[in-house]
Copies of this chain bind each other. A is one copy, B any other.
Amino acid sequence: VSGVVTFLSDYGLTDEFVGVCHGVMRRRCPTLEIIDITHGVPRGDVRAGALMLRAALPYMPDAVHLAVVDPGVGGPRRALALRVREGAHVLVGPDNGLLIAAADALGGVVEAHDIGRSAERSPQVSPTFHGRDVFAPVAAALACGTPLNEVGEPVAPDSLTPLELPTARTDGDVLTAHVLAIDSYGNVSLDAEPAELTGAVLVTLAGREHRGTAALTFSDVGDGELLVYEDSRGALALAVNRGSAAALLGVFPGDQLTVRRC
């Protein structure tokens, strides 16, 4: 742990919540550096947050990774600090599946602690803002050198809440996949590995067919045209050159569609 905290949440940037967590961390550990991954996770959408965290952490320096998407705040869900196999990364956040995909991308959880009653919490803990009063103080303490085994009680790694994700399948020529995430450009990330697609492709969704082209990048097709490509996360994805695939197709996260050559 190197004195860096990364921070992802669904707090948004219109309120003071993110700034308050920064302030709490700087007070606890004045020398730490904070990298904001994003605070634009859709409100309460644990799966979307988990996928963003998984996409981001492989590019981060060794750090304490603070992640808060926590619709069950103040209820019985546990609060966690996790050590993973690779690097010197520690993940801090609620036990609702948010951390687990990112932890797997870093080699899996090798040590887990319940920090819900940590001595590092703030003296007063609001039942509705554990980011400020539990997670941020513990993350800052870890970043400033407090050992992991002093911030909580050990729990079994195999007791952690899993993240449920859909599964793509292939039947002959037809790939049936699901929309995992849509970025703010309208690019649509699927739950499938990049297929060995070339040339013309047919995307079928809710009974409607859309013609596209397998390509490497947006400008390989004409303006407004659909492409199927490997996105920067390494997933099979749909985009429209200088447009929005999400808008063209009318898709939302979780939707099922098929992709095949044509």
Contact = CB atoms under 8 A, between A and B. Distances in A.
Total copies of this chain within the assembly: 3
B61 A229 contact: no
- Which of A38, A52, A220 counts the most B-chain CB atoms under 10 A from its CB? A38
A20 B217 contact: no
A239 B24 CA distance: 25
Nearest to A216: B127
A184 B9 CA distance: 13
Contacts of A232: 126, 128-129, 132-133
Interface in A152-189: 183-185
Contacts of A242: 44, 71
- Which of A2, A33, A128, A183 counts the most B-chain CB atoms under 10 A from its CB? A128
Interface residues of A, number: 61
A242 B44 CA distance: 7
A74 interface: yes
- Which of A8, A20, A24, A43 counts the most B-chain CB atoms under 10 A from its CB? A20
Contacts of A6: 19, 23
A55 interface: yes
Nearest to A136: B59
Contacts of A38: 13-16, 18-19
A16 B37 contact: yes
A236 interface: no
- Which of A14, A15, A75, A185 counts the most B-chain CB atoms under 10 A from its CB? A15
Contacts of A132: 59, 232
A60 B8 CA distance: 20
Contacts of A35: 19, 22-23, 26
25 contacts: A4-B26, A8-B16, A11-B184, A12-B40, A12-B184, A14-B184, A16-B55, A16-B56, A18-B38, A19-B36, A20-B55, A22-B35, A22-B36, A23-B60, A24-B59, A27-B60, A30-B61, A44-B242, A72-B218, A74-B216, A74-B218, A75-B218, A75-B219, A128-B217, A128-B229
Interface of A: 2, 4, 6, 8, 11-20, 22-24, 26-27, 30, 33, 35-40, 43-44, 52-53, 55-56, 59-61, 71-75, 126-129, 132-133, 183-185, 216-220, 229-232, 239, 242
Given A8-B16, A13-B39, A71-B219, 18 more contacts: A2-B30, A11-B184, A12-B184, A13-B40, A16-B53, A16-B55, A19-B37, A20-B37, A20-B55, A23-B56, A23-B60, A24-B59, A27-B59, A30-B61, A73-B217, A73-B218, A74-B217, A128-B229
